[in-house]
Each structure stands twice: as C-alpha cells, then as structure tokens.
Structure 1
Amino acid sequence: MSETTGFNRRKLKADISAAFPSLSADELSELVPNKEEINVVKIYAHKGEAVTLYVLHKNPLFFELEKRLYPTVYVLWRYPALLPTLRTWTPVLQKLIGGADLMLPGVVVPSSGLPDVKRGDCCAVTLVNNRAPVAVGTAAVSSAEMHSSGMKGRGVCVVHTYMDNLWAFGDKSVPPSLPDIENDGQRVNGDEFETDEEEEEEEEKEEVETCVEEERSAGEMVTDQVCSGIEELTLAEQKEEEGEKGNEEEEENQDDQKTPQEIMDALLVQCFLHALKSKVKKSELPLLTSTFLRNHMFACCPNGKQLDIKKSSYKKLSKFLQAMQQQHNLVRVKELTKGVESIVEVDWKNPELRYFNVLEETGGEAAPVQDGGEGETPYHPPEITTLYSVSARLEPLFLEANKRKGAILQPVEVRNIVTEYVKKNELVDGNNKNYVTINPTLCDCLLEKSEYQEVESLKWDDLFSRTLRRMQECYQVVFPGQTPMIKKGHIEPIDISVASRGSNKKVTLIKNLEVYCLDPAVVATTLQRRVQASSVLQPIPGAKDKVLVQIQGNQIHQVGSLLLDHYQIPRKYIQGLDKALKGGKKK
C-alpha cells in the first residue's frame, strides 16, 4: 500500500474527470481532496482480475482494470446518477456476487425505457425499489441492440459487486435505501405492470417463462442462473399465497436473504453437529481439533458445498470451537500441549446435539481422510503445479498479451506469449532461426547491464530460461474436492531430520506435514505403531498452526517409506531422506 504523490493525485483527478464528466468540480474535490491521504492498493477482484484501488478513509473509491477507471459501490451510493443503470430482481444479486454477468431476461425495463448506452459503456446495476447500485460493469451491447434482440442475451459484463473483495476492502457498509422514483408504471421486457396485485403476479409469471425460453434457446449458463433466481422468488410467493407446504423452496428463499458469511456460519454448525453425532466416538477423546476438522467436519460437508472457515464470521477454528463451548456447551476444548488444542469432552446429552437430524447426502467431495495406513478411506496426495507471476520488470514484454504485473501463468503460457511476441515483432534471426534478435524491450527485460552493448541475440532456450528466472515463482496446490490454492515462492518440502537428545540418544523430527494436508497426529500414531517407539507433538516456535512430530530413534527410513509408499508424496517434496541409516536399522 502506498500514498499517491501530488503528481499522481492530479493525474487521478484528471482521469476521473475525463471518465465521468457529469461530476462537478466540487464533487471531484470531495472525492479526491487535496490534503487527505489517498492510498493505492493492488488486489484481486472476485473474478480473479488484478485491479488497482484508490482508497480514501479506508473505503475504495475507484478502481483501475485494464487501464480503465470504474467507480466502486461506495462512490455510487453517494452519487447514484453517476452511471446509466439497469435494474434487476433481488435474487439475481446473489448470482452476480458469485461471478455471473447480468442477462437481459433478468432486466426490469422502466416506463421511461432503457438508458441510452453504447457497447462497452460503463454502467451500474440496481435492484427493484432501490436506486442504490449493487454492481458495476460494461454494457455487453448497446441499448438499441438490447431492444432489437427482444431482451435476450448478455446485458452487462459485471466487474464489481456489493459484497465482493473490493467491497470487503472498505467498511463493509450496506446499500442505503434510495426510493425508486420510476417504480410506478414500470414494465418487464416491454410488458406494462398493472396496479392490481393479481395481474402483477401474472406478469411476473410470464417473465419467468420468458427467461426459461431464453435459457433454452441460447443455452447459456448465466441465463439459467438469472432465470432460476427469479423462478425461486416467484415460486416462494405462490406457495405463501396458496398456503401449500414448500419447505425446501422457503429455505432456499431464506438463503437468498442471508449474507455469504451467515450461510457459511450455518454450514459450519451443521457439519460440526453432524460430525459429533455420527463420526466422533468417546474412545477417540481427547481429539486434536485439527484432526476433528480434517477427518470429521470436512467429511460431513453436503455435496456441492465447500466448507471454508475463513469465509465465516469466526475466521479461525479455535474461535468457532470456543463459541460452541461457551454459547452452546457442546464441547470442552483444552490445550493439552502448549499451542495445540484438543477436544477433551463432548456433552452427548445436549438437546441441540440429541435432536439434530443427520442429512443423508454428505461428503461427496470431502477433504482427504487419513487412516494411518490401515484404514478405510485412502489419502490422495495433492497436485502441485509450478506457476510464474509477471514481475514489474517483465511487464512490457507481456503487455501485448494483456498480462499486467501480478498475472499468474503456467510455464507453457509464458513460452507461448514470448514466442508470439518474437514472431509479431519479427525478431527471429534471418540467418539462423535458432536465434532471436534483441530489441530494446527484450534488452531492458532480460539482459544484465554489462550485456547491453555485447549481446545482440539469444538462443530460444536462453530466452525462455531468462524470462522464467526474472518472474516471481509461485505454486498451485490442488487437494481433491477443495478449491485450488496459489501461493508465492517455493512450496515447503516435508523436512525430516535427526537430532541428539540427552546421552547421545537420537530422535527423528518431521515438520511441514500440514502443507500437504497430512495430520501430524495421524502420522505420529502410525509411526508409533510401525516402529514401536514413543512419539510426541510439539508446536514450532514462530510457525503458526504448525506442529513438529518427534519420534525416538533414527526413523528416517520408516518415515520415508510411509510418505513415499502410503501417502504417495513425490520424492522431490521430501527433504532429508539421504540421512537414513543403511538397511533402515534403528540406531
């Protein structure tokens, strides 16, 4: 995060004024004051794009994506008329937050008609009965094309929504209630709304049918999402009026009213109760909290849902379990080893647990369960892929491919982009096609200062290797049934070492098991059974949520056998196997 300089501030004002000419000089000065601190932050948007945020008083005001400025919802709530707007139904918002674009069948057309927009114009999305914008994007087609298409197809390519990462960077306030002055006499896709309640319902039913027809003809997933959102709302209203039993529809409709954080909180409690009721046995206590999460709670997650504590209001497992202990008296958690918490007691007679109904359909894609080598569900090792991030120095080389600083690429993508750049700029040596002529951009990006005057061409392999060396190395880890994780730097290998304790006694130390979703407690128990030696778990100083496994004797051969043969961890991700005694004998 860095404060803008005076020059940048003036440029930002000029860019905002050019992009949004309706802003007056006073409004512009209010948004970008001369003496207030403005920060520039680079983050990833909810669809994965790298954007630059301009932040005032902890709230992002504008963001830059592909050299274009957009206002955030925080600005639009202050100036709702800043952009032309399209209106949609409340259930559609959840789909937009999830990454969908706004489809035209879901657009509510006011009596005054659609705003005059051209393809690519910046526009906002509002909800019926409230003028406070909830999404920002670009028009996929012009307003004339919207009419000529019969309001079918894509309407707005959404780049930012209420409740996404950009919104979460600010104070997380909710949209203000701004009365919709054009609500009277509005029409849906050209059909007038009547004041009579029953006729309004008929119009809404016709709108749902129109959406379904559009989905069938275009076959677009996002259209299906928009239509299903409207259909859920209409069905729920019909059930209430007719007095029918519609529990499932009502629950879905209630979910639409909840925030993603509230939904994740409810899912956590559901998996927690399910795990206690059907997975945990009294003989297992005390049970490491990390083992409880990985082996039991993840296994109880319903099909199609993903358990992620970081997306809940608790953020950490320890805080969630503390709430279950203090507010519900379901469990008792204790720190048996310094820094390592365990569930030591479960109140099996607690009414909340006793009357909890276990759902049948769970765990289709749960996190891998470790069985210590002799159990039921096999451990599946993660898929680890080396990736590369575009550095500031290499950005000019990747600009033609629309890849800015921070873009994450696979090695083959890097090779293809560099090859395309060379061919497009006609840099292949005419006399020897194995060489590439160095132009000013390649010189600045790939050569050392001492080489500027000497090197005029490079071999293709040298060109690729220099490019990769100057990029930020990253890695992607994919565990079965879990969202891929991308982290900067090199992945930490599982480290095995031997140390002396007391009178020349040897102990084997194992760390970084958590990086590969291996539970230290399970690994320690398995090793203890295999080598008939005692083991202990110790917190690693300065390493949060990591535990060191210590087992008596030089057991590197046995540890290696367990990791390589049973858990199938690739050898290159295990460090210290060379310290094993010959023949695997204990010392």
Structure 2
Amino acid sequence: MFKKPLHTLKTSAPLRSSDRRKLKQRVIDAFTLDPELGDALVPEGILTIKFNTHLDEPGVAYLSPEASADPLWFSLGKGSEELIPSVYTLWKRPDLLPFLSTPPAVIPILVGGADLMIPGVVHHPSDLKEGQLVAVCQYTHRSKNGATLSVPLAVGRMAVAGDRIQDGEKGKAVFVLHVWKDFLWDMGGKPQDMPEQRPLAALVDQPESEAAEGDEEIPVDKLTITAQPAYTPAEISTLLQASLLQALSTKIPASAFPLSASVFYETYILLFRPAFPHSVLPPGAGTENSSDIGPGNPQNITIKSSAHKSLTAFLKAMDKAGLLTSKTAPKQNELLVTAVVDERHPSVAAHRGFVTLGEVEARAAKKAVNEEKKREKEEEGGRRVEVRELCKASGRTIGWVEGVGGSPKTLYEPTELRTLLNAYITDKGLVNPREQAYVNVGLDPLLLGAVVTPPKKGVPQKEVEFMKRDEVMKGLLDGMQAWYEVRVGGREVVLKKGALKPIRVEVKMRQGRKACTLVSGFEAFGEGVVDAEEMSEELRKICAGATSVSPRVGGPTGTVEVLVQGKQAKVVVDYLTEKRGVPKKWVEVVDLVGGKK
C-alpha cells in the first residue's frame, strides 16, 4: 500500500481535544484496552494529516507530537472509521494484534511490497478470521535461547481464515497494508535499532504474573505450528548428521576451507536440515525427555536440542566418523573445520537425499518474488489509462438530438452517435436510391440544419441535396461540443469539456548544441495519470541525467514542462506508455533536431 511515495500529502494539524478524546475511545473500544494505555497510544497533541496513496486511495494518518512525527495510526478509504496501528505503534505494544510469523528470507520480500504467501507462514493462531487485522513477525531459530520472534514488522489483513493455512496450501495468507521501511514508515523518525527479539516460548506459555498485567495469553492449542511429533535428543543428533551428509553431497569446494565452527554450522548444517524431518526419520514415541525438545519442526533441529549439546562436541564426533577434519586454532582457541569428504565417501554415497529447509525457504522467497512481479503487472494493468472522446449537443445539433429521443445534457461517444444517425437515416428513408453511399439530407430539414454549417451573415445559404454518409457524420460532430474522459483502471480521473490533445514530447537544441527533451501537455490527463515532479524524479533515475520542472514557455497559465537532458524521446515515450499507462495514440513526438516523427 505504501511501497511507493504518497501521491498527495496535506499539511498536518493538531487534533482538537474533543476529537482526540473520540480517537482515544475508538482505539480503546476497537482493541479492548485500559484507558491508561489509550493515553499512551493516543497522546496529547497528536496530529492528523490527510493523504492519497500512489493508487489515489484517500487516507488519514495520526502522527505523534514529537519532532519525529511518527505515524501512530492510519485509516484507508473515504470515510473509513477503521483504525490500523502502524509499525511504530506495534513496537510500543507488540501484543496489540494477533501475529503470524515468517522466516527472515521473506521479510525483504514484504518490504518490497509483496503480500505474505501461505508457504511463508511458520506460526499462526488457527482461530483467525478472514479480513481480520494481524501483525507479521520474523521467526528465527538460530539463537542460543531457541526460537525467537521479532517485534511486528508488518500489519495487514487476513486473506483467508486461519484454519485454511496448512501445509501444501497455496495462495495469499495476508494482504499487507503497511510494512517496516515503506513510505509510511519513512514519514517518522526511522529508528535504527529494532527492539530485541522475544522468545517464542514466552509468547506461548506466559507466567501468570505477566498475564495479569494485561497481556493476552495465547493458548497453546490456538497456536498452529506446522510440525510433527517430538524427537529425542539422539534422534536430533541423527538428523543433524543427515543434514551434514546432505550438504556434503552438494560438492562443497575445497577452497571454502578453513571455516570457523559457527560459520560451518550456519552454512552447511542449518540450511541443509530436512524440511520434512518425519519423512527422513520418524520420531520416537513415549520417551521421557521428548516433551523438553518440542515438536519436530525443522527449525527445532538444533545442536542445543541434540544429545551433543554443543557444536564443538558434534563436530568432533563428525571428525571421528571421518566426515570432516577439524582443529583448534591456537590463538583464537576456536574450532576450525579444515576439510570435508567429497561425494565419493561411502557414507555420502549411501545417503538418501531429501528436500532441505534452505530449499523450501528459497522456494518460498522465489514464489513471493514471482507473486510480487505478478502483482506489479496486474497493478500496471490496473492503472492502464483509458481515454474516451465524447461529444454533447450544442447549437445547431440540439434540435436533431432531441428529435432522435436524446438529451442535450447527455455525453455521447462517436460510435453511439453514429448508431443514432444510421438508425435515423434508415427510419426516415434518406438513403439515396441510386447511390447507397449518399444520404438525401435535403429531404430532412432537421438533419440538414444539424450537419451543415450556417453561412455567415449576408451570405446566402448554399443548397445541399445530398452528402456522403461519412460527411454527414463529420458535420454532426463538428456541430457538437467536444468533451473527453480519462480513466485509470476503470476509475474516473478527469471529465472535461474540450478536445484532448496528446502529450507533447519535443526534442530540440538549447544553449548552443546541447540537445534536450521537453515534455508538456500532460496536465490535461490529470494528476492521477502524470505528475510533473514525480515524472521528473523518475526520468532522472532512468536517464541518469539532469531533469527539471519549470513553467511552460508560451503555454496556458499554470502549465509546466519537464526538461530532460539529451535526446530522450524514446525513453520518455516508453515511460509514459509502459509505466504510466498512456496509450501511444496520445503521445506525440516532435523532433526539431532531426525532423518531425
């Protein structure tokens, strides 16, 4: 929603005390909060500001009174009463919304403007409703303290109900409305330090003292984890060894070594853990300590959960098994992996491959990228500009339009007018019997008066008996008032009187022998199609050259032109037609250096 700069942004203004109290009550009621917390989330002096997104959707944001002016709340849509917390607010109160979690690889995709896909979901409450507001957190399982969650990094609306998010399902899980580092985020102070990650277990199994402070406890049976039954520590060790064998089967180059134990673990074990561990090693049942390890989620297959307990012990065991060689660096007192066996080793050759967690995460990230590209393509198609040339009865044509049952106030497309004309000609029997291409307009004073221009004062009326059908149509159009309509994605942007002229892209010489490209006449299409400042900035990046916006020389008052250094006509035309969706018919190129095109 905020992946691109806002189209318009009004000046902020302090909210009146009475309006601020109403806003606070709306927050308290919507999120079931204590009044004291309402004061913290809707502070005294809060500001309000109106905006339009890059898709021209209107909205209102509420900003903190501090110098950073952090956006705290926002609403989208004309007259919308729904308040949506910003990432800034969710950092203050992470439990304000129910959360879903996703791996670190997916977060940059969300920041790029994509929605959260079902394959990218790690945890979610199963009782979520379609359309419900939710937060999205980053799930990490490489901490010494086990699985952790970041503070919310995105806020969105459920695309499906929580019970429909299951393994193997496809499609979108969350329609993302606002995300960390987007243009709404950029309106605020943009703190560099993210709050510390929180242990996942603390969010699932809260102590009674913490729950009593107002934190909503998440029941374990309501938290859906894509998982299998628990593993014993010995089984975790077996799965870690299988992960190492999987990595060794990929032909790790000898030049990659030596590597520190921690880097080797991150690169060649964690990413090669089985994505579906139960298919590699079915978990044991009824063991005493299995409940201490947790479910058989691939993220839970870690050194800490294994029988080895430490990475050094595990790597030395693998050294003893002949799968790698290691030594302790004398100065750093750190274990180094100096070499590994190749795919010809008997243990590696006998290893049965499986789908790894790294492959699944990469596939999810790739799918998210593809979905984003598809969404952008749909968005570009959605902002395709449609121009309708219209006409309205005026002067000599009013009588004829009323005569065919039309209204002088109606705007007609030329095709509609031609249909009316053809029906009228047929109904009145005006087709010339000898020459079917001609119409006997002289037999019908009403039609004759509509299609023939009245003579100037003192000049006798020239008698007209018949005209070609196309000439009749042209005469009718010439007597009508021109209008035009511009729509973007089916949404009306401009409806104006007059004939629409194409956007002019002019290449000319300035300041001696320096060529430049001037773009003008785009105001008639409306700001929703082409904005001068936005076009100037985007063309500056595309052309890697200087651009500027200045009043149009010799143009109507208030019009401007965009100057681009160099002969950039093709680039500008591509920008207008492909990126802004303007039909090529409505872009005119004039090359004053090499002739008119």
TM-score of Structure 1 vs Structure 2, range by shorter chain: 0.3 to 0.5
- TM normalised by structure 2 equals 0.39
Structure number with greater Rg is: 2
TM-score, length basis structure 1: 0.40
